[in-house]
Amino acid sequence: MCQTCPARCWRSGTRTRCCAVLPLPDESADAALALHMLYHAADIPKAIAELARVLKPRGLLIASTNSTRDKIALDQFWSRAAADVLGIPEGPRRVSLSSRFSLEAAPALLGASFTDLAVRELPGVIELTDPAPAVAHLASYEAWADQLGVPPHETLQRAGEIITAEVDRHGSFRIGCLGGILTGRPLHRD
Ligand SMILES: C[S@@+](CC[C@H](N)C(=O)[O-])C[C@H]1O[C@@H](n2cnc3c(N)ncnc32)[C@H](O)[C@@H]1O
């Protein structure tokens, strides 16, 4: 975890280090986990090179992230709400944090420092009969309000109305999810 994290997770009191400078010697770790976090790194190639640096030559990297196709239903609710609030036909997209290191982009980014790359897709479906968890998820993006291009509170309220109407009409709604795990071993260093 890192003090640059907009969500300020570091306030939990957990010991924190930035992934750009890991407190480990070269070639010292058997394995490294980078689970749903590389997309937060200010300099993603540097963070990836740092993971490769600390891994032993046959060490294992396990990273995870989301596909660009993850939770599209929530993106659509948000865009519809933003369009209504702004009074325009099509509202701005929701901030996509993981698109900086998406499942589709990750192999090329990791390939600069890792070999033997494998990708395992993890598809799923969330079916909700209560709008609250979806609204809470959208609300968690408040930390990035300055990037939303739309008034966050009004948009969130409108999104809640749209999602509630969807539940009232159909009894539930489904959110298709697509995440994935990537594994790799550090490229040989001369
Ligand atoms: C989506 S959460 C994932 C948390 C956990 N890895 C998991 O899979 O449940 C993203 C995490 O990345 C951390 N983070 C953000 N920027 C970071 C950075 N520069 N270096 C290290 N961790 C960072 C945040 O503090 C947060 O804990």
Please report, as a single letter, which amino acid is at residue 176.
Answer: G
Please tell me if the CB atom of residue 1 comes closer than 6 angstroms to any atom of ligand 1: yes
Q: Cα separations (Å) of 88 from 7, 80, 83, 139, 150?
A: 30, 10, 5, 22, 12
Task: State the closest ligand 1 atom to the C-alpha of 18, by its place in the atom list counted from 1.
Answer: 20
Which residue is closest in CA terms to ligand 1's atom 1? 36
The per-residue pLDDT for 93 is: 86
Judge whether residue 96 has pLDDT over 90: no
What is the residue-averaged pLDDT of the chain?
A: 90
pTM: 0.86
The string of pLDDT tens digits covering residues 51-69 is 999 999 999 999 999 999 9
pLDDT at 8: 47
Torsion angle (degrees, nearest 10) of CA 131, 137, 139, 145:
-140
Domains of the chain (ranges, CATH numbers): 30-186 (3.40.50.150)
| Bridge partners for 125 per DSSP | 176
pLDDT at 7 over 50: no
Q: How far is 131 from 166, CA to CA, in rounded Å? A: 9
| Residue 95: both structure tokens together | 């901030």
Q: Residue 145: which pLDDT band, with cuts at 50, 70 and 90?
A: confident
What DSSP element (H or E) covers 74? helix 72-86
Report whether residue 36 contacts ligand 1, using a CB cutoff of 6 Å.
yes
Q: 11 falls in which pLDDT band (50, 70, 90)?
A: very low
